Amino acid sequence: MKDKTKAGADTKTHKNDWLGGVLLFAVLIFIDQLTKALADAYQPQFDIIKGWLSITIVYNPGISFGLASDLSVGAKLAIVIGTAVIMAALSVAWFFVNRERRLVRTALVFIVAGGVGNLIDRVYYRVWELDNAEAALLHRGVRDMVDVSRFGFAVCNFADFFITAGAIMLVLSFLFFDAEAFFPVGKYKEMRDRQKQAEEEREKRKKAAETTGTGLAKPEPPQDGTEKDG
């Protein structure tokens, strides 16, 4: 009965995690596409922090942060196909990451949402057919609206921010905020210690079972009615 209850609870938790991941992905895609649509419709031009951060609209036939916009048709098609394959692989990987590794799972959702957000633009506007001049003239290409050129980047969008945030979360999880991190801290160090103790217990039980199997276990005491020496 307890096993059935535990199995039911695990199934419910797995379903909730799956729904949570899908919901977060949908929200991020919505934010990305909404901001792109608004920028495309209203063609804004204004400063948020003068000289540092501004809102504009450009159409980028390249990749994230305005990079590689002058690639050949073949290279752009390769980027589209490669992005689709990578996003699919990361989506599958999400299901194999332990539910306790929440930061890793969240990071994967951010990266996939960002990649898919820009992939939507690339496919819809057929960016492999465009160069920079055509993209600007026809209002086609990945729609970028946040100008961070002061920091050494070109104009970008929220999908780029999601990818960057996901990458940062992955690095932090691998370094500090995960039970399998190189330098786990706080509760993650406690989780690693518990996992280590559990592994040691499993090894002890395994060795005990192997010892029993070789006949080296302690003999049982004689039963009632068994003739004793003397």
**Which pLDDT value is given to residue 211?**
81
pLDDT on residue 9: 52
193 pLDDT higher than 80: yes
- Report the percentage of the chain scoring pLDDT > 70: 83
How far apart are the two ends of the chain, measured CA to CA in Å? Answer: 51
Mind listing the pLDDT tens digit for each residue in 7-45? 555 566 667 888 999 999 999 999 999 999 999 999 999
- Contact 118/209 with Cβ under 8 angstroms? no
Q: What is the mean pLDDT of residues 117-138?
A: 86
Three state DSSP letters for the chain: CHHHHHHHHHHHHHHHHHHHHHHHHHHHHHHHHHHHHHHHHHCCCEEEECCCEEEEEEEECCCHHHCCCCCCHHHHHHHHHHHHHHHHHHHHHHHHCCCCCHHHHHHHHHHHHHHHHHHHHHHHCCHHHCCHHHHHHHCCCEEEEEECHHHCCCEECHHHHHHHHHHHHHHHHHHCCCCCCCCCCCHHHHHHHHHHHHHHHHHHHHHHHHHHHCCCCCCCCCCCCCCCCC
Asked if residue 217 has pLDDT above 80, the reply is no
The CA distance from 210 to 214, in Å, is 6
Query: Which listed residue (144, 147, 178, 229) is catalytic?
Result: 144
Q: Is 160 a catalytic residue?
A: yes
Binned at pLDDT 50, 70 and 90, residue 230 comes out as very low
Query: What is the pLDDT of the chain when averaged over all its residues?
Result: 85
Annotated catalytic residue within 32, 121, 147, 160 = 160
Of the pLDDT bands very low, low, confident and very high (cuts 50, 70, 90), residue 201 is confident
Extract the tokens encoding 9.
Answer: 């609870």
| Confidence band for 65, pLDDT divided at 50, 70 and 90 | low
Confidence of residue 102 (pLDDT cuts 50, 70, 90): very high
**For residue 230, which of 62, 40, 222 has the smallest C-alpha distance?**
222
pLDDT of 214 higher than 80: no
Which of the two residues, 91 and 228, has the higher pLDDT score?
91
